[in-house]
Amino acid sequence: MATENITTFPTGLAIGAGVRANPLDDLETVVALYQPRVFRFLLATLRDRDAAETLTQETFLRAWSARGSFREDCAVGTWLIRIALNLARDHTRTGRFRFWKNIAAHAVDAADVASFVPSAEVSSEARLIAQQQVAAIWETVGGLSERQRTIFLLRFLEELEIPEIAEATGLPLGTVKSHLYRALNAIRAQHAAHPKHAAAKNAKEDR
Amino acid sequence: MNAELSSTPHLTEAQFGELLAAPARTADSALSPAEAHVLACEQCAAELDALRESLALFRAATTSFAANQLREAPPVVLPARPVVSHALRSMVLACAAALVLAAFVPMQVLHQRSQEAARRAASADTTPRIQHYATESNEALLNDVDQAASASVPDAMQSLANPGTMNDLSVQKSN
């Protein structure tokens, strides 16, 4: 599947004029449209390819079983991400996950993700710096608390609005904001410590 | 205004978070104090731009990486496609349930009524019969008592009933 297909996702499935069918009845289309997004979110959350694959499959099976409860009060994508989030939460709370986390053969390495930085950067030096930044953010996000990481990923990876995140996580708006700001502060601190930015910051302060 | 803003402290953690997390600002919306500060403060503006750029790179790299990993993943196994849509199936099920109820309820009512009628008829029949049996059995008992009272004394008990004849018999035997 081409990368450009999953950078922007449809907010909802188009339904034929005058027909009020459940969009989840056409599961093949739903999977084709949203599998990359669900997999991306689970991969960034769990950092394990095998677990992300399994839970992506499970997300669509759950969605299929519960399609009768989908009331179209949110986009299909948001609803699927909510299912995936619950599955990931259940998965990470099992002792088995904690045991295998450290020795997982399919654990995602920050450098692997960083190597996928878009090649728009002109010089190899700029590309290297961009890769370092991405790897540092990936590491920092991994070190966040489960709740901070989830909220950060929902906002900056899945681009959900804060009220949507509050709905998906079941947390009050204020709590979502405070967790998000703390996560961003951790990233900002790591960012400031990066050699490139630290040098630029010092130069500005000297001026 | 610049002099006033430059004398103020830089953006707080919450203001930075607010600016980074907020959706893109529309041209006609009023500037918040944090946005006004960013316009005046080069240092905060540069830091904000750099962070935004890094977050965009993070998203782009994660998306490309996930897409690459997904190519190697097995396809999602879909459950069998339904013949009718979920909504239609629910409607059909509801209609079937209504039909069953519509057939069952009158039958149940009819059954209850017939049972009640049979019970009433049975209770109406049995009352005089019981009285009849009771009268019959009383009469039979009284007849038995009368027969027993009027019955002649059995042969074996005759001697007890008539002691004189017993003495005659013993005299004849001794002779």
Distance CA A117, CA A125 (A): 13
Identity of the residue in B17, B57, B69 whose CB atom sits nearest the CB atom of A180: B17
Residues B31-46 have pLDDT tens digits of 888 888 888 889 899 9
- For chain A of 207 residues, list the mean pLDDT of each consecutive stretch of 10: 43 46 82 94 93 93 88 86 94 69 68 84 81 93 94 95 92 95 93 67 52
Q: Which of residues 114-173 of A touch B (CB under 8 A)?
A: 114-118, 130, 133-134, 137-138, 155-157, 159, 161-162
Q: A25 to chain B nearest CA, in Å?
A: 6
Distant-in-sequence, close-in-space partners of B93: CB < 8 Å, separation ≥ 6: none
Q: Do B67 and A1 touch (CB under 8 A)?
A: yes
CB-based contact, A202 to chain B, within 8 Å: no
Per DSSP, the residues of A133-186 read: HHHHHHHHHHHS-HHHHHHHHHHHTS---HHHHHHHHT--HHHHHHHHHHHHHH
Encoded amino acid at A115, one letter: S
User: Does the pLDDT of residue B76 top 70, yes or no?
Assistant: yes
Interface pTM (ipTM) of the complex?
0.82
Which pLDDT score is estimated for B1?
41
Identity of the residue in A117, A138, A184 whose CB atom sits nearest the CB atom of B20: A184
Q: How many Cβ contacts (< 8 angstroms) between chains A and B?
A: 154
Which pLDDT score is estimated for A2?
40
A57 in Cβ contact with A90 (< 8 Å): no
CB-based contact, A35 to chain B, within 8 Å: yes
Contacts of A6 in chain B (CB under 8 A): 63, 66-67
Residues B4-34 have pLDDT tens digits of 444 557 888 888 888 888 876 666 677 888 8
